[in-house]
Amino acid sequence: MTRAALLAIGLRILRALFTMLLCVTLVFVVLRTAGDPAEQLLPAETPPDVRETYRQRWGLDQPLPVQYLRYIANLAQGDLGTSFSSGQPVAAAVAETLPRTLMLGLTALLLATVLGLTLGIAAALRRGTAADRGLMAVAVLGYSMPVFFLGILLILLFALTLRVLPSSGSSSLRHLILPALTLALPLTGRVARFARTAMLEVLGRPFIRGARAKGVGNLGVILRHALPNATVPLLMFFGIEIGLTLSGAVVTETIFAWPGLGRMLVDSVSRRDLPVVQAVILLVTLVIVLSNLVVDILHSVIDPKVSMARALGGGT
Partner 1 sequence: MSLSAAAPRPWAGLPPMILLCIAWIVATLLVAILADLIAPAHFTAQDLTARFRKPVFMGGDWDYPLGTDHLGRDILSRIIYALRASMVIAVLGTALGAVMGTLIGLLAGRLRGVFDVFAMMLTDVQTALPSLFIAIAFLAFFGNNIVLFVILVSLEGWERYARLARGLVISEQNADYILAAETLGAGPGRLIFRHLLPNIGAALVVQATLNFPATILLETSLSFLGLGIQPPNTSLGLMLGEGQRYLLNAWWIAVLPGAVIFLTTLSVSLFGDWLRDRLDRTVER
Min dist. Cβ of residue 56 to partner 1 (A): 22
Residue closer to partner 1, measured from CB, 155 or 222: 155
DSSP 8-state assignment for residue 82:
B
Closer CB to partner 1, residue 202 or residue 274?
274
Give the integer Cα–Cα distance in Å for 306 and 287: 23
Q: Please state, in angstroms and rounded to a whole number, the distance separating the CA atoms of residues 298 and 296.
A: 5
Q: Using the minimum distance from each CB to partner 1, give the nearer residue, 220 or 233.
A: 233
- The answer to whether residues 176 and 170 touch, using CB atoms and an 8 Å cutoff, is yes
Calculate the dihedral angle through the C-alpha atoms of 204, 206, 211, 213, rounding to the nearest 10 degrees.
100
| CA–CA distance, 215 with 179 (Å, rounded to integer) | 44
Closest approach of partner 1 to the CB of residue 67, in Å: 16
Please give the single-letter amino acid code of residue 228. P
| Residue 20: CB minimum distance to partner 1, A | 8
End-to-end CA distance of the chain: 23
What does the DSSP 8-state code read for residue 161? I
The least CB distance from residue 280 to partner 1, in Å, is: 8
Could you tell me the smallest distance in angstroms from the CB atom of residue 119 to partner 1?
A: 18
* Cα dist from 56 to 49, 50, 195, 206, 228, whole Å: 11, 10, 56, 70, 58
Find the shortest distance in angstroms from Cβ 41 to partner 1.
11
Cβ neighbours of residue 304 under 8 Å, at least 6 residues apart?
1, 2, 5
Q: Which CB, 15 or 100, lies closer to partner 1?
A: 15
Q: Which residues bind partner 1 (CB under 8 A)?
A: 15, 19-20, 22-23, 26-27, 30-31, 34, 140-141, 143-149, 152-153, 155-156, 160, 194, 197, 243-244, 246-247, 250-251, 254-255, 265-266, 268-270, 272, 274, 277-278, 280-281, 284-285, 288-289, 292, 313, 315-316
Give the residue with the Cβ less far from partner 1, 216 or 281.
281
Task: Please state the closest distance from residue 149 (CB atom) to partner 1, in A.
Answer: 4
Q: Of 132 and 216, which has the nearer Cβ to partner 1?
A: 132
CA distance 66 to 52: 18
Residue closer to partner 1, measured from CB, 221 or 285? 285
Enumerate the β-bridge partners of residue 82.
89
